[in-house]
Structure 1
Amino acid sequence: MTQFATFHDLAGKSVFITGGGAGIGASLTDGFMAAGASVSFVQRSDATGFCDEMEAKHGTRPHFMKCDITDVDLLKACMDEGAAKFGPITVLVNNAANDTRHDTLGYSVEDWDWNHAVNLRPHFFTAQHAVPGMRAAGGGAIINFSSASYGMGNAGYPAYVASKAAILGLTRAHAREFGPDKIRVNALVPGWVLTERQMELWATEDGLREHLAGQCLKEHLVPQDIVDATLFLASNASRMMTAQAMVVDGGVVFTG
């Protein structure tokens, strides 16, 4: 992995990532490990092979726990296990999400509840569970992944878009609540990052061309673009940043 910036204060940090074994999450695990952090992560699918790769690459092994993040009790237990292995979690990255396409008219109450149990609810309960340890450690950083889809007003997955908008409100509320404890809470807002999942399921030649036309920077996003931004938000390089939404989308959504 090529790093454009290094954040030396992340060395030795105990980092917990949801969905840290595939897609953008796997790149995040790789990036934090390259910075010298100790990473524990949950993933619904088996990530043993990925952990083998990381151990061969970095000389240390991330701690993988299989978990469906809709099971909040299990998710909290995994956070405890990660903290027991690497020390109190001082960097929490709420990355896991599911952007499966759906429409409004065919969506049930059960569909809606499941969507938010994946895309919004974990952000609240992981923070709830991590904050006591962060307080005891003298501070911490929480990075909540949102999505530029809400700013674009995208159709095709309304429950997902609603959850990603709600994450910004939650981020600001938690930043205010936990700021006195030196806990920073920021949202990262990625644009369309061309992971393997995106390329396999939804990227078409016309769709890619149309999306790129809407970007100021005429180059598609790759996971590394998100890794560097996340490391910045986790690092003391951003020590006075909190309650913010940091957009990394090539210039599609404009803020301010």
Structure 2
Amino acid sequence: MCATATFHDLQDASVFITGGGSGIGASLTEGFLRQGARVAFAGRSDATEFVERMQRESGQRPLFIQCDITDIDALKVAIAQASQAHGPIRVLVNNAANDQRHSTEQVTEEFWDRAQDINLKAHFFACQSVVPAMTKAGGGSIINFTSISYMMGNAGYPAYVAANSALNGMTRALAREFGPDGIRVNALAPGWVLTDKQLDKWATPEALAAHLDRQCLKAHLKPKDIVDGVLFLASNTSRMMTGQALVIDGGVVVTG
């Protein structure tokens, strides 16, 4: 990854990322490492190979904590472990998500609950877990990943779309609640980022062409296109920005 901006205040910052070992999350982990941050990330799948590669390529070794973030007790333990290793978390990136396609008719109560657990509930409890130390430290930055799916009113995954819309409400509520403590809470809404998972499962030539036609910028998004926006929200460069949703989608939706 080629760094395009340097955010000096992220040097030595303690950063925690959910889902930081693959897809967009892996690019975020690398991006923060190259800023000199101390990065811990959680994920279900073994990321040992990725950790070793990051140490070789960036000179920085991230801390990988294997856990299922929908197990809230395990998530809290992971955050505590990261804090013990790197110091109180200054930047939380709630990146992990599951956008499994489904129709309304297919949704069972168990499926619905699982979708909310990974796409909404884990975000809330991660925020809850880092707030006390951020408050004591005088501030911090929380970045909640949503997507443009709710802005577009996309069909094909209603439980996911519902969670993404709810994340924006939660982001605004927490920004209001913890602003007096110097804690900033923002959302980041990517467009269709072509991770390996997306390419394997849903990125047919027809779907890609149709989506590109909706974009103002005629190039598909890659994970690295999201990194600088996250670094900006994490850094004091955006110190007076909170309760907002930053859209990086090549110009599919129009906000404001």
Offset from partner CA, 1:60-105 (integer Å, 9 cap, x none): 2100011111100000000000000000001000000001111111
Distance in 2 separating the partners of 1:222 and 1:54: 19
Number of aligned residue pairs:
256
Distance in 2 separating the partners of 1:24 and 1:70: 19
* 1:239 and 2:239 matched: yes
The amino acid of 1:140's aligned partner reads: G
Residue 36 of structure 2 contacts residue 60 of structure 2 at CA under 8 Å; is this kept in 1?
no
Other-structure match for 1:44 = 44
The amino acid of 2:120's aligned partner reads: L
SS at match of 2:207: helix
Other-structure match for 1:213 = 213
Distance in 1 separating the partners of 2:60 and 2:230: 21
Q: Superposition RMSD on alpha carbons, in Å?
A: 0.6
TM-score normalised by the chain length of structure 2: 0.99
SS at match of 1:216: coil
Other-structure match for 1:97 = 97
SS at match of 2:193: coil
Matches of residues 56-205 of structure 1 in structure 2 within 5 Å? 56-205=56-205
Distance in 2 separating the partners of 1:6 and 1:189: 22
Cα deviation, residue 189, structure 1: 0.3
The amino acid of 2:145's aligned partner reads: F
Other-structure match for 1:22 = 22
Cα deviation, residue 166, structure 1: 0.5
Distance in 2 separating the partners of 1:192 and 1:151: 13
Distance in 2 separating the partners of 1:73 and 1:253: 37
Cα deviation, residue 234, structure 1: 0.1
Distance in 2 separating the partners of 1:60 and 1:23: 19
The amino acid of 2:246's aligned partner reads: M
Distance in 1 separating the partners of 2:160 and 2:178: 26
The amino acid of 1:125's aligned partner reads: F
Other-structure match for 1:250 = 250
Distance in 1 separating the partners of 2:64 and 2:5: 26
Offset from partner CA, 1:196-221 (integer Å, 9 cap, x none): 10000000101100000000111111
Q: Structure 1: which 5+ runs fail to align?
A: none
TM-score normalised by the chain length of structure 1: 0.99
Distance in 1 separating the partners of 2:231 and 2:133: 20
SS at match of 1:220: coil
SS at match of 2:212: helix
Distance in 1 separating the partners of 2:195 and 2:111: 25
Distance in 2 separating the partners of 1:28 and 1:204: 26
Cα deviation, residue 123, structure 1: 1.1
Distance in 2 separating the partners of 1:57 and 1:137: 32
Cα deviation, residue 225, structure 1: 1.0
SS at match of 1:192: coil
Cα deviation, residue 11, structure 1: 0.4
Cα deviation, residue 224, structure 1: 1.1
Cα deviation, residue 178, structure 1: 0.3
